Amino acid sequence: MGLFDFLRGRNAGGADPLQKHAERVLDKRAMSPDRFASIEYLCKVATDEAWRALLPRFNFTVDPSITDREEKQFILEHISEARETAVEPVKEFLRKAQAVNWPIKMLRSLLPQEQFVAELIDVLSGEETAYQKNAERKIQAIIALEDCADPRVPDAIIPFLDDVSEDTRFHAVRTLLAQDDPKGAEPIFALLVRDDSLRIRTNVAEGLAEKGWACPEELREKVLPLLPRIPTGPYTLGADGVLKGPARRG
């Protein structure tokens, strides 16, 4: 049963204002003032049903872009103040949304960091590393975790170093490095050895040199011949296995 079918069933005997406003919010051809009036109405209702009716607005854009941004920002500001009724609808929407930047912003404002991290890790647990037509959900979840220092993050991110998508691997490296957890050293050095992408290798070398994490002994012979090929070098591998980059000028 779709959202509108459900709303109709709630009030089969007459016009349902929630249904009317929900339909108008999702009408790209509606006049902007009319659509915004419906957005305001649903934000005032502020029930879980109202948020479920509003959230699909983030799946499309309207012209002009400033109007599109204003409508979405208005919803974001109001939904962020409705923790009791908005959390579950936003969690549901994150798992099926076409564009996930907005629901991630909502969850960040609705949940304390510990719960926010747990939710994104749960989202990633449902993602695969094989080819996906749209990898945006996992990429944005990985990016969001870059700012969240949490011991649960490395184990959730490491599998995505093997992702088919170069963008996913790139951001997985950045998030692992940001965790400041040496647990990430071995899988990141292993990625340096096996990944043919110069972008990935450069990202890895710069990050590892900054962190000062030691390369596992079993990988050092494989890492050494790769270092001259990295354009931001020269890079060297010390006797202790620590990767060193070019000296920074003061």
Mean pLDDT of the chain: 92
Q: Is 147 exposed, middle or buried (0-12, 13-18, 19+ CB in 10 A)?
A: exposed
At residue 1, the pLDDT reads: 44
Nearest to 75 by CA among 54, 90, 52: 54
Tell me which amino acid residue 152 is: R
| Residue 12: pLDDT band with limits 50, 70, 90 | very low
At residue 133, the pLDDT reads: 86
| Residue 15: pLDDT band with limits 50, 70, 90 | low
d(CA 154, CA 177): 9
Per residue in 188-227, pLDDT (tens digit) is: 999 999 999 999 999 999 999 999 999 999 999 999 999 9
The segment with the largest mean pLDDT, out of 7-21, 41-55, 87-101, is: 41-55
DSSP 234: -
The mean pLDDT of 61-90, rounded to a whole number, is: 96
Q: pLDDT at residue 3 above 60?
A: no
Same domain, 94 and 21: yes
Please count the other Cβ atoms lying within 10 Å of the Cβ belonging to residue 212: 13
How many domains in the chain?
A: 2
Domain that holds residue 32: 1-111
Could you tell me the two tokens for 130? Answer: 């094989």
Same domain, 152 and 53: no
Residue 147 placed within a domain: yes
Per residue in 93-135, pLDDT (tens digit) is: 999 987 899 999 999 999 999 999 999 999 999 999 999 888 9
CB 141 within 8 A of CB 120: yes
Could you tell me the two tokens for 159? Answer: 């599998």
Same domain, 98 and 25: yes
Whole-model pTM?
A: 0.88
Same domain, 104 and 13: yes
List the CATH number of the domain containing 173: 1.25.10.10
Residue 125 placed within a domain: no
Residue 78 placed within a domain: yes
Per residue in 169-180, pLDDT (tens digit) is: 999 999 999 998
At residue 7, the pLDDT reads: 47
Domain end among 93, 111, 129: 111
Residue 75 placed within a domain: yes
242 pairs with which residues across the strands? Answer: 214
At residue 247, the pLDDT reads: 74
Residue 198 placed within a domain: yes
| Residue 8: pLDDT band with limits 50, 70, 90 | very low
d(CA 231, CA 241): 20
Q: pLDDT at residue 6 above 60?
A: no
| Residue 139: pLDDT band with limits 50, 70, 90 | very high
Nearest to 144 by CA among 100, 97, 188: 100
